[in-house]
Structure 1
Amino acid sequence: MNVLESRAIGALAGAAVGDALGGATEGWSVEQIRARYGGPVTGIVEPFRPDWQDFKPISPYHKGDGHVTDDTLMTNLLVRVYETKRDHLDAYDIDELLVPLMIGEKVWIPELEREAAPLIRVFLAEKWIVTRLHYAHVDPREAGVGNAVNCGAAMYAAPTGVANAGNPRAAYAEAIDWAGAHQSSFGREAAGVFAAAVAAALSPGASVASVVDAALAVAHDGTRAAIEAVCEQAQNVDDPLEAYDALRAAVRPFDLVADAYRERGMAAHRPSRLHSIEELPVALGMLVAGRGDFRASVLGGVNYGRDADSIATMAGAISGALYGVDAVPAQWRTDIGDASRLDLEAGGRVMAQVAREIFARDQERAAATTTAFTELAGQAEGAAR
């Protein structure tokens, strides 16, 4: 296995492992998590509620037991889009390639313990993609406008980072383009910045510090300010398992979701240049607090609660991209792969090959541009004389 493949697999397997671990604590407070599990979560746990099938009629999901959530389902669908296109993506590819996968093909849904179209599992902000593109025929570049602004696009943007390995600005631009079909405002911005962070993590010699710097270099408005504030605070955290108070205090001024996570205020999920999603800054903060260590960073996200699966997904993707598949604990990979009926290495293998093909195409396009510009500049000089 070469370095690119190891780190691409690390990114996507790391995202899936973080997702599965965090799924068991999603939506809960630190106090609720510790009361239920007798302390911090340190690995795969049983479902938070044994009555998962009847507890919430709108989302009767079997979280825990090593089951991935919609974060991984959507990530895997985006990998399939790349596998088909084998080139950079834009908003039209979401319409033409992703939507048919969401509504037209069955996959195993671990949280439902049955096969179904992915549309059945994803939540309302992701169902928006199908509503706007398949039924309303909205311009894909603008379809995300009007959706609840959240981490829905960012949570599955890791493949775009792999497709642009070593080039954070290109990853940012590409994710910003296709995410316009799903999200707007700081939700769209987060997708771009997360993709850039993964691309930066895949650079030779990358570190947590260089990843944060790359994220800040492309980020704008409230997203940039939130990352800066959270990562600065995280430098003073010794144990990611105890990071909640410090990181929540840092991100609170930028987050439109209340401290009581299930109690949404009127301002929640509205577009804003002053605000940020919570998940991406906290994931980067956990990486800083955990010094990039996969286990420490991901478990920090898991025990943060709130949108724990997406926080741990992002932390896991970046740590896995930094250090390769061997940084993702093998037992977790095996157990989660078995429990979710997934090959956690398959997506990374696909994206490593697709990234090679995209790089070759980019080189050809760059060479053609160089030739054209050189000729154009020469003609201009001749005309001037």
Structure 2
Amino acid sequence: MTSSFERVYGALIGQAVGDALGAPTEGLTRAQIVERYGWVSDFVDDDPAGTDDTEYAVLTARVLLDHGAQLTPAQVAATWTENLVNQVGGFYGGGFSEMTAINNLRAGLAPPVTGSDNHEMWSDGAAMRIAPVGILCAGDPGEAARLAAIEAQVSHAKDGIYCAQVIAAGVAAALTADSWQKVVDAALGAAPADSWTGRTIRRAVDIGASNEDLSAALDELYERISIFHYPFADVGPEATALAMGVFVAARGEYVPTVLGGTNVGRDADTIAAMAGSMAGALHGSQAVPEKWRQRINVVRGHCIASTAGTDLAALARDLHAVLLAKEAGA
């Protein structure tokens, strides 16, 4: 039986490994991936590492450890100011939505303005970092969605927040679920059905469910979900939908899920990270191959200097301790 700690660590390391696997294929088309790699089944770099996706997730975990379910937008802004606004240099690979939010904070603005006065308020930047919210709200997707909206508004608004709510709710459900279908149901319930995010995710889930072959599912997802007329591949409703579609096509199994995210292209690191957090939470850290866990467990801090050296297993233990304390006090 998978322990609650293994599921917590599974969500964190599952996200980070997916991020690192997908980093080399980020921005590539399906055809380019096939031509260059055939099928990516392992790290293609000699020195793989997570990207800003993982490092922002660490920052989210830290603000939650400090403030828990009583989190406020002002507390998120204070954490970002301390760790990001005051950072000198760095930000390697940082996304536009986060950099705009940082500049807004630097200019004296506060949430929700920092997220709404942001030309990429609908990017996947909030969804990529939100898994720790799902962990803190294990078994309670509704609370995860509520807390995700508070955390996300420092850098996002509208569909950018909806996407974060979807992933947070999915992770929260996965930590206690006994089937991938329950994870999908919880995630779908977190976004307004008539929103851009809700419509796109439902279409992707249907595509994933209708394909028995993972590669065929990726082809159809790529062609029918991708927004080719926009110059960047970080649109939240697209990336989150692709993550959900891949998760369904892989029937929630960890390795096929993250490899599906890696091989679908587009914003592959974020897609594999989001899908990997749900699959890792569902099956636990033991579902993540040990050779992958060992190589990715320590965070580099390439984008956020203060995250350098973070041990994800230790961070998982801290988050798990919060869960145990909540259960004891219930």
- Give me the TM-score of the superposition, normalised by structure 1: 0.76
Residues paired across the two proteins, number:
318
**Cα pair 2:126 2:152 within 8 Å, conserved:** yes
SS in 2 for 1:218: coil
* Match 2:171 to one of 190, 198, 201: 198
Residue 95 of structure 1, CA deviation: 0.9
**CA distance in 1: counterparts of 2:267 and 2:254, whole angstroms:** 18
* Match 1:151 to one of 97, 108, 124: 124
Number of the residue aligned with 2:315: 347
Number of the residue aligned with 1:324: 284
Number of the residue aligned with 2:58: 76
CA 1:150–1:339 in 2, change beyond 3 Å: closer, same or farther? closer
Number of the residue aligned with 1:113: none
Q: Deviations over 1:174-214 (max 9, x none)?
A: 111221111012111101111011001112x4321111111
Compare CA radii of gyration and give the structure with the larger one: 1
Q: Deviations over 1:142-165 (max 9, x none)?
A: 320032120011100000000111
CA 1:36–1:234 in 2, change beyond 3 Å: closer, same or farther? same
Instruction: Name stretches of at least 5 consecutive residues in structure 2 with no aligned partner.
Output: 301-308
1:246 pairs with 2:245: no
Instruction: Name stretches of at least 5 consecutive residues in structure 1 with no aligned partner.
Output: 47-63, 106-115, 270-275, 364-385
CA 1:120–1:33 in 2, change beyond 3 Å: closer, same or farther? closer
**Cα pair 2:2 2:283 within 8 Å, conserved:** no
Number of the residue aligned with 1:176: 149
**Cα pair 1:197 1:212 within 8 Å, conserved:** yes
**Cα pair 2:2 2:284 within 8 Å, conserved:** no
Residue 264 of structure 1, CA deviation: 5.2
Residue 359 of structure 1, CA deviation: 5.4
**Cα pair 1:164 1:199 within 8 Å, conserved:** yes
Number of the residue aligned with 2:228: 258
* Aligned ranges 1:1-385 → 2 under 5 Å: 3-37=3-37, 39-46=38-45, 65-104=47-86, 119-133=91-105, 135-147=106-118, 148=120, 149-203=122-176, 205-220=177-192, 221-252=195-226, 257-258=227-228, 263=231, 277-337=237-297, 340=300, 343-358=311-326, 363=330
Residue 97 of structure 1, CA deviation: 1.8
Residue 117 of structure 1, CA deviation: 5.7
CA 1:104–1:356 in 2, change beyond 3 Å: closer, same or farther? farther
Which has the higher mean CA deviation after the structures are superposed, 25-34 or 90-99? 90-99
Residue 122 of structure 1, CA deviation: 1.7
Give the structure, 1 or 2, with the largest relative contact order (CA under 8 Å, sep 6 or more): 2
Q: Deviations over 1:119-168 (max 9, x none)?
A: 454232211222112x2222313320032120011100000000111000
- Give me the TM-score of the superposition, normalised by structure 2: 0.88
Which has the higher mean CA deviation after the structures are superposed, 227-236 or 67-76? 227-236
- Which residue type is aligned with residue 115 of structure 2? G
Number of the residue aligned with 1:54: none
Number of the residue aligned with 1:377: none
